[in-house]
């Protein structure tokens, strides 16, 4: 059964969430939407993939159904199932089915985390058929022009056990995301946190240094999301070392020696002993 806390809906009338483009990704998204093409977004954790989809859905005025994929997510969780309610058995649509019925955008975040049967159910929606067969209810839904399927994953986690088959990847047009340049990242941090720009520039510079460390073994590099968290703590008066330790060091690693090395680089950036 799907955890409904992982499904978000945003009405088209909602305010457009802040997003700072770094290239032609907005135009590409709009073209894919207009032409009924499914979209795959690839990029590291915390680089803005989900915010981008939220921004575009609001900008296009379409309802958005976001599902955070996980190991237990099944095709039935997306399409729907019969449930017992008040002594009666009733069909309940899943988020993918609801998006198809209403002509919304369905966004499957980290699609490679879902079970293999999930990608199979997506195939008829990602070619010229644009249909969703509901085997359990016997329905065959034709996706309206306004429906769009968007999926994402982090290639950094890709391995033999968790990857999209080439036959699935080739059903999507694709955008590769990365972390923005320091100037743009500082602009994003300032807009999201309200921290003065000079300090945001320091944080963006620090991020560049942390991401290029060669002798530190980190599963993930520092994300723009974590930088915004750090900036928020700084704005509320926390000492730079305390803010950076809580938002940039502890979330990234547990090894005491690695943490000490990161703190030394942070202190050097902020000019602290």
Q: How many CB atoms lie within 10 A of CB 99?
A: 28
The answer on 87 and 63 residing in a single domain is yes
The answer on 235 and 112 residing in a single domain is no
The answer on 254 and 157 residing in a single domain is no
What pLDDT does 5 receive? 32
The answer on 189 and 143 residing in a single domain is no
Lowest mean pLDDT among 52-61, 109-118, 150-159, 219-228: 150-159
- Domain edge (last residue) among 158, 176, 194: 176
List pLDDT tens digits, range 141-188.
999 999 999 999 998 765 545 778 888 899 999 999 999 999 999 999
| DSSP alpha helix (H) spans, the chain | 25-35, 49-60, 75-79, 95-102, 116-122, 166-169, 182-193, 197-211, 224-235, 240-244, 256-270
Lowest mean pLDDT among 105-109, 174-178, 266-270: 266-270
- Domain edge (last residue) among 176, 210, 227: 176
Q: Distance between CA atoms of 180 and 96, rounded to whole angstroms?
A: 31
Q: What CATH number is attached to the domain comprising 61?
A: 3.40.50.300
What pLDDT does 167 receive? 86
Q: Distance between CA atoms of 47 and 68, rounded to whole angstroms?
A: 16
- Domain edge (last residue) among 120, 143, 176: 176
Summarize the confidence of residues 201-226 as an average pLDDT: 87
pLDDT band at 273; cut points 50, 70, 90: low
**What are the strands of the beta sheet with 64-68, ordered from one edge?**
7-10, 64-68, 105-109, 148-153, 39-42, 173-176
List pLDDT tens digits, range 216-239.
677 788 999 999 999 999 999 999
pLDDT at residue 6 is higher than 60: no
Paired with 62 in beta bridges are none
Cα–Cα nearest to 198, from 250, 240, 260, 226: 240
pLDDT at residue 8 is higher than 60: no
The answer on 164 and 110 residing in a single domain is yes
Summarize the confidence of residues 252-261 as an average pLDDT: 89
Here the tokens at position 180 are: 């923005």
Q: Distance between CA atoms of 214 and 36, rounded to whole angstroms?
A: 43
Q: Distance between CA atoms of 47 and 153, rounded to whole angstroms?
A: 12
Domain that holds residue 165: 4-176
Domain count, the chain: 2
What pLDDT does 7 receive? 39
What pLDDT does 84 receive? 86
Q: How far is CA 229 from CA 61, 139, 186, 244, in A?
A: 29, 45, 13, 9
What pLDDT does 161 receive? 53
Give CA 111 to chain center in angstroms: 10
Average pLDDT score over the chain? 89
What pLDDT does 272 receive? 61
Q: 22-54: b or e for each residue (b if 16 or more CB lie within 10 Å)?
A: beebeebbeebbeeebbbbbbbbbbbbbbbbbb
258 or 36: which carries more pLDDT confidence? 36
Burial class (CB within 10 angstroms; exposed 0-12, middle 13-18, buried 19+) of 231: buried
């Amino acid at each position: 059964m799907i955890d409904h806390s992982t499904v978000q809906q945003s009405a088209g009338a909602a305010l457009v969430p802040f997003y700072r483009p770094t290239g032609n990704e907005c135009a590409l998204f709009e073209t894919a939407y207009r032409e009924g093409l499914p979209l795959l977004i690839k990029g590291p954790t915390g680089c803005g993939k989900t915010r981008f989809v939220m921004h575009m859905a609001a900008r296009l005025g379409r309802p958005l159904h976001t599902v955070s994929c996980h190991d237990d997510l099944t095709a039935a969780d997306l399409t729907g199932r019969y449930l017992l309610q008040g002594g009666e058995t009733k069909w309940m649509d899943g988020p993918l089915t609801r998006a198809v019925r209403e002509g919304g955008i369905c966004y499957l975040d980290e699609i490679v985390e879902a079970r293999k049967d999930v990608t199979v159910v997506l195939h008829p929606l990602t070619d010229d058929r644009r249909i969703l067969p509901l085997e359990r209810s016997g329905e065959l839904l034709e996706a309206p022009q306004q429906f769009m399927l968007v999926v994402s994953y982090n290639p950094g986690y890709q391995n033999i056990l968790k990857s999209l088959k080439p036959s699935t990847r080739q059903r999507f047009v694709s955008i590769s995301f990365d972390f923005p340049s320091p100037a743009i990242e500082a602009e994003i941090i300032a807009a999201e946190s309200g921290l003065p720009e000079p300090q945001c520039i320091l944080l963006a510079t620090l991020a560049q240094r942390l991401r290029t460390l060669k002798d530190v073994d980190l599963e993930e590099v520092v994300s723009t999301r974590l930088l915004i968290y750090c900036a928020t703590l700084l704005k509320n008066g926390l000492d730079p070392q305390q803010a950076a330790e809580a938002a940039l060091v502890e979330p990234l690693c547990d090894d005491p020696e690695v943490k000490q090395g990161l703190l030394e680089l942070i202190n050097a950036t902020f000019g602290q002993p």
